[in-house]
Amino acid sequence: MSNKSIAFAADRMLGRLAKWLRILGYDVIYGRHLSGHGLIRAARADGRLILTRDRSLARKQPPPFLFIDSNDYIEQLRQVLRAGDLSPGAGLFSRCLVCNGELQPRSKESVAELVPPYVFATQERFSWCSRCQRLYWPATHQKKMLEALGKMAVTR
Ligand SMILES: [Zn+2]
């Protein structure tokens, strides 16, 4: 399964899992409205695989779903990657963590007015979410996320 061919709908109890899947570049919808029938409807609309901790969901005739066993987000992430036979890494930092939009590269010149002077002076690569207008650059938070992923031992 490639990163492009799978999309997820995470139930509202799985916010941390959703965030880490987005860090790895996977398409994940997540929000307070995503539980029970709302989750089923949203997953069906886009052909998404449901990720859920809700045991009662199975009785609601859902589309394909993966029941998440653990309460721990690292274990949850491992379970999803294992179940989908996914190789994370290629899509790392390619998706907006806030709205799930795909990021596009932006030239340094084009962000001069948009970022703090220190950031402009010290960063060379920028990307942009056209959906929610957020700018991203590989600052310390990405380094911390990479370190965290290394500790989780989920990237190969
Ligand atoms: Zn966004």
Q: Give 95-150 pLDDT, tens digit per residue.
A: 999 999 999 999 999 999 999 999 999 999 999 999 999 999 987 778 888 888 88
**How far is ligand 1, taken at its centre, from the CA of residue 129, in Å?**
5
pLDDT at 69: 96
Q: What size, in residues, is the chain? A: 156
Mean pLDDT of 39-50: 95
E-strand ranges in 1-116 read 7-10, 27-30, 49-52, 65-67, 103-106
Ligand 1 centroid from CA 61, angstroms: 32
CA of 123 to the centre of ligand 1 (A): 20
Inter-residue contact 10 to 21 (CB < 8 Å)? yes
> Which amino acid does the sequence have at 54?
D
97 CA to centre of ligand 1 in angstroms: 7
Query: Rounded to the nearest whole angstrom, what is the distance from the C-alpha of residue 58 to the centroid of ligand 1?
Result: 31
Model-level pTM?
A: 0.85
pLDDT band, very low/low/confident/very high, at 2 (cuts 50, 70, 90)? very low
Q: Is 49 helix (H, G, I), strand (E, B) or coil?
A: strand
Predicted local confidence at residue 116, as pLDDT: 93
Percent of the chain scoring above 70 in pLDDT: 95
Token digits for 114?
A: 């948009």
User: Please, where are the H alpha helices in the chain?
Assistant: 15-23, 36-46, 73-83, 117-122, 140-152
